[in-house]
Structure 1
Amino acid sequence: MEAITVNTKGGHVLAARRFAPAGRAKAVVVMPTAMGVKQEFYFPFAQFLAQQGFAVLTFDYRGAGASVPPRFSRSLRGFKADLHDWAEDYNAALRAARDWQKNMPLLLVGHSLGGQLPALMPDNHLVDGILTVAAGSGYWRYNAPQLKRMVWLMWYVAVPLCTPAFGYFPGKKLRMVGDLPKGVIYQWARWCKSPHYMVDDEGRPMHAGFERMRVPLLALSFSDDELLSRRSIDSLTSFYRNAQVERRHIAPQDAQAKRIGHFGFFRPEFQPTLWQQALNWLEQCAQHRNGRYRPQNAASGT
């Protein structure tokens, strides 16, 4: 594992890590974070992929994790960033991965938010395949039943009251998501209150970026996800209308486990089951450029 920095077009410096395989890489994988999650959470899976011959790059968005500038370490008050900026960060990481492993297939492993933001990346045409993990629409009515009441309070009470008072969303104090820049939480709240999810300031859908992507996409979702319903997963994957979509909705017993949930996929205990399943698909997808990719259950509901 090598610590590096990634520079964005706007001059922001992102903390990132590179995981290099022992020999020539099969492909290079960019692995962004979910909302409120630090890149360290994904290190075990990144190391696993590197051991299997993939080069992997992880990073934190500006204003999150190790990419918080020192002067904002105690408070994000005054820090300017929204989800378009985070998509720019994602794009910068994509470019950095491309420069690191030239002429290699370029793949994404996007957990939750990481499977949504590719639509906003200007260079998403460089991507050769996407594996999404528990990535769905954040529209609050599509959340898992046990979450709906809490997120209603978040979007209609906590965000409008607490964000102006603190100058950022104090998620750590509220035990909701984590601390987020003001621009991020306001934009995310607008998205999550719309059935179209990704919308502009006027409430119009921003789906053109999804429709530009014509690559293989495997959407892994889990029956015991405590945040997202299957409807939310299907809603997001439907935005990728021109991609070669394969859906796998997995119950814990399918992975010889009692629980997976929204975050469980990345636990090392799933190396022989879920990780191996993901690895097999990524290896298959890495051959896509040569015309050898054949989805096993395209658009399946299994």
Structure 2
Amino acid sequence: MNWQETPPLAPVQIELPLTSDALAEPFRQPAADGFILGGFAWRHAAADATRPVVIINAATSVRCRHYSRFADYLFAHGLDVITYDYRGIGESRPASIKGLNATWTDWGALDFEAMLKRAQHEFPGQPIDVVGHSFGGCAAGLGASGQLIRRLVTVGAQFAYWRDYAPAHRWRMFGKWHVVMPLVTKICGYFPGKRLGWLEDTPAGVVRDWSTPTARYETRPSGRRINDRLPFATVTANTLAISISDDPYGTIAAIERLLDYFTGSSRTHLRITPEDIGETEVGHFAFFRSAYQATLWPIALSWLQNGELPPDTPGRTVPRSHPN
């Protein structure tokens, strides 16, 4: 099977939690095929059927611990939270990933689907919301139980079609992710991203999905096996797609390309420039760093709590040129 996602142009500093270990409960969860996934849950003591439980879908080859401070923030504002790693990554990594049969479609159809089922079972009756970073936004549309999602927030969400990369970075990114990465993967049997400073080690199937230069998800290697039954349209969630103008992956074209798959959802695309929040750069990964707790995190929180943007939301909404 295969995958797709795109780390930054330079080595990324992943922010690990300072306080979350005391708040989060580790768990193990089998997917439908028996693969054991690892993750963490932030759970309030008192049951409340009106309290949302939020599943956070990571970017490709980013450990779920990168989102722990953001999970702390949501928990402090009254939400329950689940973070987890896709098979082959972080808490869900076996001793070796060489030869591991894992693809992007597996990450959505099996791993994310397992988290939807876990949320339904462990937090019975509570609304289920999702935050998806980069490929994590695509994964939100690949679970068979996508109709369970009430609200969806995506950040820089796309599936790495190379022509959608920002023009100033496009050829460098194409060489790195669509030439070098698959060649190294062919030699090693997996992509040794950690050794190279390019995020986590990554299964070969995910690399094939990512590096295949096609404009449609269903024509990626693992997407072809679900060509006639892509489940995106079953998601009816009120959806907010956040993009940052200096994110070379999350261009308007890339965000809209993914949003076009969520035909059953109401969709709002919010475009923010670094200058809108008094910064000079933000990029693809920084949204979930605690430095943006006061400026960016309230946007996602408001959508999860109310399904609306706060009155003082920075940026602008992008008119949808392809409503269907």
Short-chain TM bin: 0.7 to 0.9
CA contact (8 A) 1:62 1:86 kept: yes
Which of the pair has the greater relative contact order for Cα pairs under 8 Å at 6+ separation? 2
Instruction: Give SS of 1:116's match.
Output: helix
CA shift, 1:284, in A, is: 0.9
Q: What is the aligned partner in structure 2 of residue 277 from structure 1?
A: 299
CA shift, 1:269, in A, is: 2.1
Q: What is the aligned partner in structure 2 of residue 67 from structure 1?
A: 92
User: Percent identity among equivalent residues?
Assistant: 33
Instruction: Give SS of 1:210's match.
Output: helix
- Which stretches in structure 2 are left out of the alignment for 5+ residues? 1-23, 320-324
Query: Which amino acid in structure 2 is aligned with residue 12 of structure 1?
Result: F
Q: Does 1:125 align with 2:147?
A: yes
CA contact (8 A) 1:16 1:59 kept: yes
Q: Distance in 2 between matches of 1:180 and 1:244?
A: 33
Query: Which amino acid in structure 1 is aligned with residue 142 of structure 2?
Result: L
CA shift, 1:112, in A, is: 0.5
Q: What is the aligned partner in structure 2 of residue 116 from structure 1?
A: 138
Query: Which amino acid in structure 2 is aligned with residue 252 of structure 1?
Result: P
CA contact (8 A) 1:21 1:52 kept: no
Q: Does 1:220 align with 2:242?
A: yes
* Structure 1, 108-117 or 260-269: larger mean CA deviation: 260-269
Instruction: For 1:30-179, list aligned pairs within 5 A.
Output: 30-69=55-94, 71-72=95-96, 76-87=97-108, 88-179=110-201
Q: Distance in 2 between matches of 1:254 and 1:187?
A: 34
Relative distance call for 1:41 and 1:147 in structure 2 (3 A) is same
* Structure 1, 207-216 or 108-117: larger mean CA deviation: 207-216
CA shift, 1:198, in A, is: 4.0
Q: Distance in 1 between matches of 2:146 and 2:136?
A: 13
Q: Distance in 1 between matches of 2:54 and 2:60?
A: 19
Q: What is the aligned partner in structure 2 of residue 17 from structure 1?
A: 40
CA shift, 1:85, in A, is: 1.7
Q: Distance in 2 between matches of 1:156 and 1:263?
A: 20
Q: What is the aligned partner in structure 2 of residue 268 from structure 1?
A: 290
CA contact (8 A) 1:111 1:132 kept: yes
Q: Distance in 1 between matches of 2:251 and 2:264?
A: 23
Relative distance call for 1:178 and 1:4 in structure 2 (3 A) is closer
CA shift, 1:295, in A, is: 11
Matched pairs, number: 288
CA contact (8 A) 1:28 1:104 kept: yes
CA shift, 1:154, in A, is: 3.5
Determine which structure has the larger helix proportion and give its number.
Answer: 1
Query: Which amino acid in structure 1 is aligned with residue 81 of structure 2?
Result: V
Q: Distance in 1 between matches of 2:57 and 2:164?
A: 23
CA shift, 1:176, in A, is: 3.6
Alignment partner of 2:52 out of 23, 27, 44:
27
Render the CA deviation track for 1:132-157: whole Å, top value 9, x for unaligned: 01112410010122432233223553
Relative distance call for 1:177 and 1:148 in structure 2 (3 A) is farther
Alignment partner of 1:210 out of 232, 245, 263:
232
CA contact (8 A) 1:26 1:283 kept: no
RMSD (Å), alpha carbons: 2.5
- Which stretches in structure 1 are left out of the alignment for 5+ residues? 286-292
Relative distance call for 1:161 and 1:125 in structure 2 (3 A) is same
Q: Distance in 2 between matches of 1:48 and 1:12?
A: 30
CA shift, 1:294, in A, is: 9.9
- Structure 1 length-normalised TM: 0.87
CA shift, 1:178, in A, is: 3.4
Q: Distance in 2 between matches of 1:38 and 1:284?
A: 28
Q: Distance in 1 between matches of 2:58 and 2:130?
A: 11
Q: Distance in 1 between matches of 2:67 and 2:56?
A: 8
CA shift, 1:228, in A, is: 2.7
